[in-house]
């Protein structure tokens, strides 16, 4: 596949945290889209359930919108599905220290 050298150069200047943010945003949008598809819901249905406009939902599903945790939690609650999954933190047993 032929690539554009100018775009390749621009891509290399994007900081790693920005690339990760874009990947996560797209993954969240894809997760929401998949849930809607599994439940047979349209964007219009989803917008109505969320009390939002179709335009706003369309922005969410584009993968470019920076959603707040509150929005992600509301989406999860309304759809009855996890939108994001965070690996549980491993509890480390710390030995007790005696104070003398």
Question: What CATH number has the domain bearing residue 62?
Answer: 1.10.260.40
CB 36 within 8 A of CB 18: no
How far, in Å, CA of 73 to CA of 83, rounded?
8
**Spatial CB neighbours of 28, under 8 Å, sequence gap ≥ 6:** 63, 67, 72, 83, 84
Considering the domain boundaries, does residue 73 fall inside one?
yes
How many domains does the chain contain in total? 1
Quick: pLDDT tens for 47-97.
Answer: 999 999 999 999 999 988 899 999 999 999 999 999 998 887 777 676 676
Q: Residue 98 — very low, low, confident or very high, per pLDDT cuts 50/70/90?
A: low
Tell me the percentage of the chain whose pLDDT exceeds 70.
Answer: 92
Considering the domain boundaries, does residue 25 fall inside one?
yes
Please provide residue 69's backbone torsions phi and psi, each rounded to the nearest 5 degrees: -60, -35
Give which of 87, 84, 86 is closest to 71, Cα–Cα: 84
Task: Give the range of the structural domain holding residue 15, as residue numbers without chain letter.
Answer: 5-79
Considering the domain boundaries, does residue 90 fall inside one?
no
Considering the domain boundaries, does residue 96 fall inside one?
no
Quick: pLDDT tens for 20-49.
Answer: 888 999 999 999 999 999 999 999 999 999
């Amino acid at each position: 596949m032929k690539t554009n050298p100018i775009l390749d150069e621009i891509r290399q200047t994007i900081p790693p945290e920005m690339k990760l943010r874009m990947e996560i945003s797209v993954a969240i949008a894809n997760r929401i889209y998949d849930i809607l598809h599994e439940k047979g819901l349209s964007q219009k249905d989803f917008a109505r359930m969320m009390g939002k406009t179709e335009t706003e939902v369309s922005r969410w599903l584009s993968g470019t919108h920076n959603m707040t945790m509150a929005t992600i939690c509301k989406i999860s609650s309304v759809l009855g599905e996890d939108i994001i999954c965070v690996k549980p933190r491993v509890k480390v047993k710390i030995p007790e220290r005696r104070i003398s």
